[in-house]
Structure 1
């Protein structure tokens, strides 16, 4: 006998990413004003700048393992940031529980380590000529490291509140 009601336990209110309730008028603006969302937008820009500047440095840097790791870290971080932003904005109910919160903390923590390792590796690689793109990649790699560390902290604090 079907009653037309969804099956399973109801999703508690306030458990969407960063405790933003379902959409109401003006709630998209509220989502975009929250510190975790602002950090993810900054991470998106930092990742694009970091991997594009190291890729534009030339064949010498991109053929090394250090340059390749920076490009890998930046491209995957850029894609992950788009996923996180989509979840923050769309707030699908399937991704509003503890599993999503654990996933976000774990992925963010891993990417903190990746950004730190990639930035250190590229900085240790050294520069021979025309170092502006090279130095920009290192700088924005460290900016990304700091932004992902802050995002990890926000995600962990949200996990504690669930």
Structure 2
């Protein structure tokens, strides 16, 4: 029974093991994606805005396109929050007793991870295209070049880390639920024990229809006097 699982996790109520949790592939991928989002956000927010020596106003290093920097900063910050949210869900997931709720969580993981993989693909193409079109005279001192290339590189890596998360979540969805351990309407038995009405072992009420509380007499077996069987001589 211990090996039975529902959507990649065992029966609810087990103890949380941080070492096992950190060794799971999905946890490693989420942490890596989380770090990538920090790098992308930090590179663009700190060194993605420059200015010419004769200008005061700063502009985006990606071809002076403000939308490119805004896209990178927004994607990095939102991916950071999304990774934190799914890490928290992974910690809580084994405690979910309802198979329906587990199914919803796994499907959300599949969809959201696939969405982020697509968005990072768009971001990589967008940033790489704008960086390729950047004019040298806009940045004669070549400031922030390493940060821009780092943002593009980690955007590319993020495509595969999020795609791998979606793939692992889909594998968990295919595992489904073990019907021998879980049911679609599974609830904690301790919560239902207090409210369940008492019935006798055979399903009969404590009081019989005759009011005697015992087994009714059958005709011909007892004469009704003291409960002894009548014998004819």
How far apart are residue 96 of structure 1 and its match? Answer: 4.9
Structure showing greater Rg: 2
- C-alpha deviation, 1:125, in angstroms: 0.7
**Which runs of structure 2 are paired with 1:31-50 in the superposition (5 Å)?**
31-50=21-40
**SS class of match (2:5):** coil
Cα distance in 1 for residues equivalent to 2:40 and 2:10: 31
Query: Is the Cα–Cα contact under 8 Å of residues 31 and 37 in structure 1 kept in the other structure?
Result: yes
1:139 and 1:83 map into 2 onto residues whose CA distance is 24
- Pairs within 5 Å for 1:143-158: 143-158=157-172
Matched, 1:69 2:71: yes
Aligned length: 148
Aligned to 1:55: 45
Gaps of 5+ in 2: 50-57, 177-233
Q: Kindly indicate whether structure 1 or structure 2 has the higher relative contact order, using CA contacts under 8 Å at least 6 residues apart.
A: 1
TM-score (norm 2): 0.58
> Which of the two has greater helix per residue?
1
Is residue 2:156 matched to residue 1:142? yes
The alpha-carbon deviation at position 60 of structure 1 amounts to 2.2
TM-superposed CA distance for 1:19, in Å, is 2.0
- RMSD of the TM alignment (CA)? 2.1
Task: Tell me the distance in 2 between the aligned counterparts of 1:148 and 1:20.
Answer: 25
- Which residue, out of 112, 118, 126, partners 1:113? 118
**3-state DSSP of counterpart to 1:141:** helix
For residue 14 of structure 1, the aligned residue among 5, 27, 30 is: 5
Alignment gaps of 5+ in structure 1: 1-12
Mapped contact 2:6–2:175 kept (Cα < 8 A)? no
TM-aligned CA deviation for residue 20 of structure 1: 5.1
